[in-house]
Amino acid sequence: MKRRVFLISLIISLNFTFSCYVFAFDKNLLSNLLANELKKSPIATEVLIGQIKFIGYEPKEKCIPENLKIREIKRPSSVEFTFKCGSSHYRAVSNYEVLTKVYVNQIPLKKGEIITEEKIMEIKYPLSKLPTGAITDKDLILGKVVKKTLVKGLIIKEDYLYSDIPVKKGSIVNVIVDTGQVMIVTEGVLKVDATVGEKVRVQCLATGKEIAGKLIEKDKVRVSL
């Protein structure tokens, strides 16, 4: 008898839980509706909706939200809006994140490797959390040479890439030593990969000494003393 009562109670409880789930208000529908409305505004073309909080009361049963209207966009990341659900009108606020496109490497990349289309992937990323130097234009990535080895899945940043095809370590260059009173030209060997405009270290062939300078052309390093 006790077992039968227990089973009946369990069935009633499960039915009640199922009913609450089926007829509960779906915030995902409201989030999608709000995101689409925000895309029509000047703030962004892509947004990620965060937590929604109702002002006053919230829908208690399953209904389809419609007629959503934005009352106020509170920069940088909050919006107040109204909508209709069933026969009632509601008011709510939500935070949001503006998304921007960035690119990550789909495979590990080695130093000196040239980036091609199949090696990177576009993702959407919160603008407020975007790392300094992250590249949002794919054309500024394709064809560039990697400065250092990159593990899989990194957001591609400017300082990960050479701005031009680098002059390789070990290349023979003319070393122009300018003392202010006299100029000496000799030959040296680059000790690092570098592009024009970067600071470099070069080993003079005549003396064997390493000195610091600036790569002013693909085959010239200027040293100021």
Which of 79, 98, 117 is the last residue before a domain boundary? 98
Evaluate if pTM is beyond 0.75. Answer: no
How do residues 90-146 score in pLDDT, each as one tens digit?
999 999 998 999 999 999 999 889 999 999 999 999 988 999 999 999 999 999 999
Q: Which CATH number does the domain housing residue 139 bear?
A: 3.90.1210.10
Of 78, 98, 118, the residue that ends a domain is 98
Taking CA atoms, 70 is separated from 38, 41, 66, 73, 218, in Å, by: 8, 10, 12, 7, 57
Q: Which of 44, 73, 98 is the last residue of a domain?
A: 98
Residue 128's pLDDT is 87
Question: How many structural domains is the chain composed of?
Answer: 3
129 within a domain of the structure (yes/no)? yes
| pLDDT score for 62 | 80
Evaluate whether residue 1 is within a structural domain.
Answer: no
pLDDT score at 121 = 96
Reported confidence tier of residue 22, pLDDT bands at 50, 70, 90: very low
Residue-range definition of the domain harbouring residue 92: 23-98
Per-residue model confidence (pLDDT) at position 203: 93
Secondary-structure breakdown of the chain: helix, strand, coil percentages, each rounded to the nearest 5:
20, 45, 35
- Residue 120 burial (CB count, 10 A): 20
